[in-house]
Amino acid sequence: MERRIVTLILLCLFIFPVFAESERIVILEDGTYISTCRDSLVQRSFDGGNTWIPFTDGLPEKHVYPFKTKEYRDLSSIFCHEASGYMVACGSNFVSLYDVETSSWKDIPVGEPVKVRSYYTAAALKGTEEGYTVMIGTSCDGLFVTYDMGATWEIFPSNRFYIGGGFYEEITAICPVENKEPYTWYASSLPDNLLYGYDPFIQRWKPLPTPEAVSANPIHAITDTGTALKVFTGTEVYEASYDGSEWYKYDGLELPVKRTAMTFSEATRKKAASDRTGIYLNYINGKPGRIENHIKFLKAHNMDSFVIDLKDDFGNVTCTTSSPIAAASGANKEYFDLAQLLDTAHSAGMYVIGRIVVFKDERMYRHEGYKYAVKKKTDGKPWENGREYWVDPFCSDIWDYNISLALEFQEAGVDEIQFDYIRFPTDGKIQNIDYTWRHDNMTNSDALESFLKKAREAVSIPISVDFYGFNGWNKMEKWNGQNLVMASKYVDVVSPMYYPSHFSTDFHKKGRSYMEWAEFIYEAGTLHSKLIGGYNNCLVRPFVQAFLVGDEKSFSEAEYYEYYRRQIDGLTKEKASGFTLWNSSNKYYMVPPNFKASSKGQP
């Protein structure tokens, strides 16, 4: 049931000016507006949104380029306990309590059984001054609760949100209720965007009737009015009965949430980068005689782009460069003439994406006596893992070197710069790594943000970044530093690697055949990436697994043709902005002979 409410007691029917760009707004029962902002501010308004007052004292700060102004860590969620005025907020790696007596925020410590990798996406508070209960939701690890302000934590029943492989759906909002039956907590999760009620007697979450108009967008906040629930989705507000049987929309109300319109340069970049379909090529295939064959293949399948190694996984600069650092470090290999390659590609109507591997770089690792190498905590010597050689992602010299190469390639006529290995090491004895270039309490995500922010200031053509598939699926950052929420502020395209072979086979399997599951992985993965990066208008152009590993090697030709098509079908259903096929040896045998990509990347 949905009814329009014409008269609003608390809310006016205008779009109010805001102090900063508001990303999420919650309206309390006394008429106070609470807003979290894109620029990491939290602010409130006591006059219906005409004026706004920041209240950030005590919130965690981030330390990013240019390191000159105070910046706060992004907030995922904020909840107000209206009876006391206390508030709880969370960001990716912190939970904070707003103390009304000191008018400042203080940290709530988080420990086991909350996982080290957990990214906090929602928080809520209930109780009295004698004892508060704080619950947090995460992007993929379920719900947790503390009854003693963080001294100890417990797992809260989350089975309803379990998706297999040890992972859970992202919790987007939490709200407690007092003296109501049968539910004591309410929550919502991605991607279904339904309202759930928690029944303490059976210790289960129950999905409640949720109108399609509500579930069309993520629910970012839920509050208790005392007589009903208030549900916030983007710019709209709904009222729901406690059992979900009745829903009312506040007619005419549009919350003063602001999305900054794209600048002309940003719009131009995204137009150029959108809906590109193509393949990855290593430096060997950039040589004359080889590149023409791959362009012929692309044209035969109606594809219009390729990614080419310009700085490879070992730090070798594969084409002619004037970089003195590349020369001094022995990185300048000049395997092919970039000007000649670009002339050949552009004459054939190809869009050329220059791949730069950033922090996995053996040349700079060894340069100047291992000056830039990550070190071992035990003896200070260079850390390595097999044939992987990593430079310190906190080092601004490394940022500047890679940006200088990007600028040179841009000047040469490359259409897009793609940064790969824009992350921290994940394999080997990573607990023994000492990042000696770290300063000012920077986090791993701060280092990556500093690099991307500086690159965005310098590079005027489209920038894309490669992400692990799971970092594109869920909000994460502690594992390898990759945070799509952050990256989408600076890049035009994100390319997640949703390779089905790299996911746990019980992750979202639910009785699906392997082929059905492969399609689902690309469909749901694309949706999640668009939801995470969509606020910043970031395009999603997935890598498609055009290679076989493990049991897949036993596929017949018909089976791997289907496997390929299933991946394409999945990303097409969620309207991905094109795709790139990945095969490290550049042998694209999995592409069916009759496959044709349209300009929208659809078969």
3-state secondary structure 183-218: CCEEEEECCCCCEEEEECCCCEEEEECCCHHHHCCC
Domain boundary among 186, 216, 250: 250
**Do residue 424 and residue 499 come from a single domain?**
yes
How far CA 267 is from CA of 200, 414, 419, 476, 600, in Å, comes to 50, 18, 20, 27, 18
- Output b/e per residue, 220-233; b: 16+ Cβ within 10 A: bbbbbeeebbbbbb
- Whether 259 is in a domain gets the answer no
Q: Give the HSE-up count for residue 208: Cα atoms under 13 Å, Cβ half-sphere.
A: 23
Which three-class secondary structure state does DSSP give residue 103? coil
Q: Which of 144, 64, 73 has the alpha carbon at shortest distance from 485?
A: 73
Specify the pLDDT at position 204. Answer: 97
CATH of the domain at 480: 3.20.20.80
d(CA 526, CA 216): 16
Whether 221 and 284 map to the same domain: the answer is no
Same domain, 142 and 183: yes
Please report whether residue 72 resides in a domain: yes
What's residue 130's pLDDT?
72
- Beta-bridge partners for 186: 175, 197
- Give the angle subtended at the CA of 411 by the CAs of 405 and 412, to the nearest 5°: 90
What's the pLDDT score for residue 50? 81
Kindly state whether residues 8 and 36 are assigned to the same domain. yes
In a domain, 53, yes or no: yes
On the 0-12 / 13-18 / 19+ scale of CB atoms within 10 A, 254 is middle
Cα dihedral 237→486→576→307 (10° resolution): 170
381 within a domain of the structure (yes/no): yes
Residue 603 lies in a domain: no
Q: Does residue 187 sit in the same domain as residue 290?
A: no
Distance CA 324, CA 332 (A): 9
Q: What is the pLDDT of residue 253?
A: 56
Query: What pLDDT, on the 0 to 100 scale, is given for residue 40?
Result: 61
Among candidates 308, 313, 302, which has minimal Cα distance to 280? 308
Q: Which residues, in sequence order, are bridge partners of residue 494? A: 465, 540
Do 482 and 412 lie in a common domain? yes
By three-state DSSP, how is residue 390 classified?
Answer: strand
569 and 445, same domain (yes or no): yes
Does residue 576 share a domain with residue 498? yes
Phi and psi torsions of 525, nearest 5°: -60, -45
Same structural domain for residues 230 and 291? no
Could you tell me if 275 and 202 lie in one domain?
no
CA neighbours closer than 13 Å in the CB half-sphere of residue 316: 14
Asked, for residue 93, whether it belongs to a domain, the answer is yes
Are 50 and 158 in a shared domain? yes
Task: List average pLDDT for each run of 10 residues in the chain, which is 603 residues long.
Answer: 32 32 74 76 84 92 93 92 91 94 95 96 87 96 97 97 94 94 95 96 96 93 94 89 94 60 89 98 96 98 98 96 97 96 98 99 98 97 93 98 99 99 95 94 96 98 96 91 94 96 87 94 95 84 95 95 98 97 97 86 42
Taken as a whole, the chain contains a residue count of 603
**Which long-range contacts does 255-259 make (Cβ < 8 Å, 24+ apart)?**
255/22, 255/25, 255/27, 256/15, 256/16, 256/17, 256/18, 256/22, 256/25, 256/33, 256/49, 257/22, 257/23, 257/24, 257/25, 258/18, 258/21, 258/22, 259/21, 259/535
Burial class (CB in 10 A: 0-12, 13-18, 19+), 129: exposed
Q: What residues have CB less than 8 Å from 461, skipping those under 6 apart?
A: 269, 272, 410, 414, 415, 416, 417
Contacts of 298 (CB under 8 A, 6+ apart): 278, 279, 304, 305, 306, 350
Tokens 């700085």 label which residue?
Answer: 311
Cα–Cα distance, 487 to 425 (Å, whole number): 18
Compute the radius of gyration of the chain from its Cα atoms: 25
Amino acid 198: pLDDT: 98
Expressed as residue numbers, the domain containing 182 is 2-250
Question: Does residue 140 lie in a domain region?
Answer: yes
Identify the CATH number of the domain in which residue 140 sits. Answer: 2.120.10.30
Which domain-ending residue is among 191, 223, 250?
A: 250
Does any domain span residue 66? yes
Residue 256: per-residue pLDDT: 56
**Integer Cα distance of 64 and 73 in angstroms:** 10
Contact 362, 423 (CB under 8 A): no
Q: Is 575 left (phi over 0), alpha (psi -120 to 50) or beta?
A: left
Indicate whether 169 and 23 sit together in one domain: yes
Number of folded domains in the chain? 2
Task: Retrieve residue 42's tokens.
Answer: 């939290």
